[in-house]
Amino acid sequence: MKIFASVLLFYTFSANLLAFDLHSAVETAFKNDPQFISEEKVFEKQVELVNLARAPLLPNLSITSSYSDITYSGNVDTKTQNIGLSLSQTLFDKTKFVILDQSRLDVQIAELNFKLAQEKTILRIADAYFDILIAQNNLTSIKAEKNAVEEQLEFAKRNFEVGTSTITDQQEAQARFDLIRASEIRTENALAIARTNLTKSLLIPIPETFKGIKGKIIIEKPKYSAPSEWMKIARSKNLQVKIASKKSQRSRLELKKKKAERLPTLNLTLSTGHSKQESLSTLSQDNQIITLNVAAPIFLGGSISASKRQAIADNEREKKNLELALLNADRVAGKSFRTLIAGVSQVEALEAAEASSKVALESNKLGYEVGVRINIDVLNAQRQLFSTQRDLAIARYDVLKSKLQLLSATGSLNINEVKKISNLMLRNN
């Protein structure tokens, strides 16, 4: 039975690895990534701010009890028992009500920060995931190029032996082979680093090979064709803008709170108690006290005026931060849109270049065989083809990155959008 369970666990784990895509990586990060979980716990902590701010405005009930036994000179023993119940209620305190409003804004800011943390995690994991795919593709391309150059090297050696080519052809092919080998080592290291970066965020084993883009992909055209339209959306939906707006509102409440510190406060206290004293005689009494407390500051050493000036300065600073957030949202949305559009055009151009490079390589090979081309021509054609293929793969992943960045800039990036990207890549396999 244990053997069967172990085999089942192995196949389940293997199936999970085979099904591992960008969507799976992001979902795993939401569960395991220490950086994201830390942000999640901050949000859970901030949610309680409203309860803490509301507590001073609700009735406060407390009970007290004491007992003492005192022996005086003359062996007079006095025992005293006291028990009391006190209820206090704030009737008017403008400062506490403003603090409650601030706490509600703090929770909203915390929720927006948590959503922003989700966006940043998606972008960070996507970058790490695409880095692996790019390095993996580069390594595959370099190995294919190395094999092609190695064949050309052997061909040059045979031609030199039979006297149909010079030693230069062989030396050029050998030099190109050695350079490719150096690139292979560098790319293997880049792939290892990329895999380590993703593993450290997910904290689980990842597959040895990821499924990447193998051919053409169709990127859905953006809904709007003008950068200004995306900038307009970003100014209203970008999370950084929303956070800055909430912080600006909070700073205005802080100024309101500082002004309210000059207002009087009104508190009601109801208390009841029972005391009993046993000595030469027994004395017992009950008491009920109603206290209405009114307090108003007159002069506190200038602290109220100083704190008010601080609040005014902070309010102005938050206004400028909001303006900066709006400018950044414009910039990021416009840049992401233009990068996406340019990326799509670049992919189309590179796909055409790949097709023409293949034709050029075949022509150079045929020309070399009949003696109208030299070996360096074939090597250059090979390098051009494989370089174009590597650039094409990078361009395709850059387009997907730009898509995610545009969604982030306009406050629309979520796990569902990641799933669409994953499905787009999987349909290509």
pLDDT digits (tens, 9 = 90+) for 307-324: 888 888 989 999 999 999
Considering 4-13, 123-132, 261-270, 298-307, the range whose residues carry the highest mean pLDDT is 123-132
Banded model confidence at residue 162, pLDDT cuts 50, 70, 90: low
The mean pLDDT value for 216-229 works out to 82
Q: Residue 49's pLDDT is what?
A: 87
139, 126 in Cβ contact below 8 A? no
Q: How many CB atoms lie within 10 A of CB 343?
A: 20
Residue 180: partners with Cβ closer than 8 Å, 6 or more residues away: 142, 145, 146, 149
Q: Could you tell me which of 56, 212, 213, 114 has the C-alpha nearest to residue 414?
A: 114
Query: Which percentage of the chain shows pLDDT scores above 90?
Result: 40
> What predicted TM-score, i.e. pTM, was given to this entire model?
0.82
Model pLDDT for residues 73-120, shown as the tens digit of each residue: 666 677 888 898 998 998 888 999 999 999 999 999 999 999 999 999
Q: Residue 5's pLDDT is what?
A: 39
Q: How many CB atoms lie within 10 A of CB 178?
A: 10
Rg, the chain, Cα only: 37
Q: Could you tell me which of 356, 284, 381 has the C-alpha nearest to residue 81?
A: 284
Banded model confidence at residue 429, pLDDT cuts 50, 70, 90: low
Sign of CA dihedral 422, 423, 427, 429: positive
φ/ψ of residue 288, rounded to 5: -130, 130
Model pLDDT for residues 334-372, shown as the tens digit of each residue: 999 999 999 999 999 998 998 998 888 888 888 877 777
Per-residue pLDDT for 2 more than 60?
A: no
Considering 57-66, 68-77, 169-178, the range whose residues carry the highest mean pLDDT is 57-66
Residue 358: partners with Cβ closer than 8 Å, 6 or more residues away: 385
